Structure formats: structure tokens, C-alpha cells
Structure 1
Amino acid sequence: MKKLLFLFTLVSAIGFSQNDEAYVDSLVAQKFAELELQQNQEYFYRKDYCLGKVMIFNMPDGNLCTSSSTYYAVYVFWKESDSVLKIQKFDNCGSFRPIPISRSKVFIKAIEDKEALMTGEVLPYKGEQVDENATGNMSVQSCHKAYKFVLDGEPFEKKFREYDLTNESKYKNVNAEHNNSLKLIKLDALLSELIKSFEDNGKFFRER
């Protein structure tokens, strides 16, 4: 009891905030509204989350911040010029500084087929066999990605479970090849590599 009281006193003294998905969505909506006012014709976000995953951070002002139930990381991308793309991260604890990157030919090619991005659907994991003697002890981490695009002024949304792209169950996922051939998933792989590089190298800095 004394340890709990001490922890509560410590948290109260240094400051503590806790924010949910609605808070993150509000920050991203503000950014989208700003891009819309600028009449930007190419912007989108990717929202990453694993249900039940909680994160806690030391903030620049010395306070603590944690996600409420689930941690959400949203990466907004927009065309700054013909040669420059910008990325900005948002999460349960606020916004990060925008980062300029090259709007490369690889990236342009990844999003140029808007119709393929719109119509391609990730199919659910389907094992090539049904295990009638399944023990039910295999756990599946419920990690998701959600996209919202505004390309040529036209908005559309896509989402999928990361598990549906894999072959991690006892039996081969018959939909894995289809899923991983989709334009959306190829774009997702490109973004994942970029985001991982920025995260690993500490490129995301919180705005004060």
C-alpha cells in the first residue's frame, strides 16, 4: 500500500496525462483540415495499433504521458512540392515535428494507381486446411493498420490486420499471396521501411 501511495504521489507531483484514440483522431483531423485548406491534392495517413498495447513516455516538459488502453501512432504524409514529401507523426501524447523527405520515383509509382489502391481488398487469413483437433492455444496478436487517402481531391479509406498477410498459423494462409500482391500492401511495405528507419535513428522529435 505504501508503494502504491508513493507512486501515486510521484505521478501527481511530476504531472500525468492519458489520451485515447479520439484524441489522436482529433489531431490528425486538424492536420487534414489544414491540408484541405491549402487545396493539397496528395495526402494520406497510416494508423498503426495493436489492441491493448499501452505505451508511456517522458515528455519534453518533464511530465509523463500514457496511452489510454491502446497506443495509436499515426503517420501523415503529404506532397510539399514535386520533389519533396513531408511526414508528420501523431500519437496519444501529441504531435511530432514534420520531416521533409524526397518524393522519389519509387514513392510516386507506389501511389499513382489510385484505382488499384481503392479497389484492392485484403482478404482474411484462411488456412488451407481446417484442424478438427485444434487445441485453441495459439494466440494471434491483434495488430491493425488503417489508411485514409486524399488523392486528386478524392478521399477513400482502407484497413487490414497484419496477421492476414502472414503464414504464421499451423496451415498455410491461402490468401497470403493475393494480399501481399496488392498495391496497398506494397505501399505499406515501403512506408514501414521508411518509418522504421526514422524510429530506429531517433528522427521523430515531439513538438513542445
Structure 2
Amino acid sequence: MKPCLLLLTILISTLSFAQKNTEKKPLSIISDMTETLANQNIENYFYTNRTCLGETRIITLNDQKKCFTNGNFSEYYLFWQEDSTTYITKADNCGPFIKLKLSNNDLFDFFMENRQALENNSVKEYTVANPENAPTQRTKVYPCSHEFSFTTAMGTFTQKFKEFDVTNDSKQSNLNYEHNQQLKLIALDKMIDTVISETANKLRRQ
């Protein structure tokens, strides 16, 4: 038994060491990227962060090493324009990706045209008519949240919402469902979903 316990301890220690040394902080990576944009006099850009609580992944990197995430998995997507062309790049717990040119400027144009609405109108929480008598019962688990940071020449502002708040997935209807679905923020989020889907097989790790 003792050799087995020793082997198990070594294995756990090895995995923990690998996790500690391969997992990176995606926000720090994105901050470095936005600093580079600022140094290039690019004033308009935004990024979104999709974080899912309790999600552990093992990802194979370019050099075939393994990256072990630490329970919460975050993906940051950064968008900006250079010479009237929109670009996307990405960072997650396992490091940065190369930049990729988008086929059109629809996403970035929407951001610039609706900057004020994006700043002033937030997602409202899931609210029911009679929470005391019939508490909200989710039929699905929504462990993910979406965060946004928008930067223009006028400054930076942020938004955030939980995925559950923009659904109607409960025993009682969400009184704020229609409000949330009509927000420019949610329209932008859906456009981002499309872009992420279209570029998933093209974005490559650095």
C-alpha cells in the first residue's frame, strides 16, 4: 500500500505543479494587448470575457504540453480596427492566440454606432412575479457570465450579465425577459457568438 500511496502523491503533485506552471491569467494577457493597441494610437476597441464557474479543462498546447485549468475557465475575445479592417484575437487560461482578420466590419460598426446605448442600458436580473410563493426553479444550470469592456476616445465603460438573466427558463416567467432581449448589448453579444463560431477553427495559439 505504501508504494501505491507514494506513487499517487507524486502524481497529484506533478499535476498540481503542471497546472500551476501552465495556467495563465487571460485578463493580464488582454491588458497587455490593449496596451499595445494604445501604443499604436488605436483608441477604439472592446473585449468580452466569457467565464464559466467550475469548468476544468485539459488543453493540449502547440508544443504538445498540457495546460490544466483551475476550475473556472475564462475566454477573452478582443476586437479592434486597423486601416478600416476589423480584427479578433483571443486569450484563455492557457495563453494568447494570434490575431485574425474578420471578413467584414459589421460587428465593430455596430459597437461604434451604438456606443451610448451599450453604456447606458444594462441587463436586468431574472425577476418573477411571486418569488415568496413559488421560488425560481431553473430547468437548466447557467454557470457562465459575460463581461464587456468598451473603450473609445471618450473613455472606457463596462457591462456584465449572467446567462440565466437573459432567459425565460424557470417555473415562473422572467419579467425582464423582453427588456433584456431588446438591449443593444444582447444584440452585440449574439453577433459575437456568430463571430466566435465562424472563427473557432481559424484562431491559432501563439
Normalised by the length of structure 2, the TM-score is: 0.86
1:91 maps to 92
Q: Give CA deviations for 1:144-200 in whole Å, capped at 9, x if unaligned.
A: 00000112352111111011000001111010110111111101100111102222x
Which residue pairs with 1:113 in the alignment? 114
Match runs of 1:47-196 below 5 Å: 47-82=49-84, 84-105=85-106, 107-130=108-131, 132=133, 134=135, 140-196=141-197
- Alpha-carbon distance change, 62 to 30 in structure 1, aligned in 2, over 3 angstroms: same
The verdict on how the C-alpha distance between 1:18 and 1:197 changes in structure 2, with shifts beyond 3 A counting, is farther
Could you tell me how far 1:22 is from its partner in structure 2? 7.5
Gaps of 5+ in 2: none
Contact 2:118 2:184 in 1 (8 A): yes
Question: How many angstroms apart in 1 are the aligned matches of 2:189 and 2:154?
Answer: 21
Distance in 1 between residues matched to 2:101 and 2:174, nearest whole Å: 38
Q: Deviation above 6 Å: which 4+ runs of structure 1?
A: 19-22
Structure 1 stretch displaced more, 136-145 or 118-127: 136-145
Paired residues for 1:7-26 under 5 Å: 9=11, 12=14, 16-18=18-20, 23-26=25-28
Once the 2 structures are TM-superposed, how far is the Cα of residue 81 of structure 1 from its aligned partner?
Answer: 2.1
Deviations 1:13-62 (A, max 9, x none): 9x833479971111111001111111212111000011111111011112
Give aligned-pair identity as a percent.
31
Q: TM-score, normalized by length of structure 1?
A: 0.85
Structure 1 residue ranges without an equivalent (≥5): none
1:77 and 1:11, CA in 2 relative to 1: closer, same or farther beyond 3 A? farther
Aligned residues: 203
**Most deviating of 162-171 and 53-62:** 53-62
Question: 1:44, 1:69 → 2: CA distance?
Answer: 26
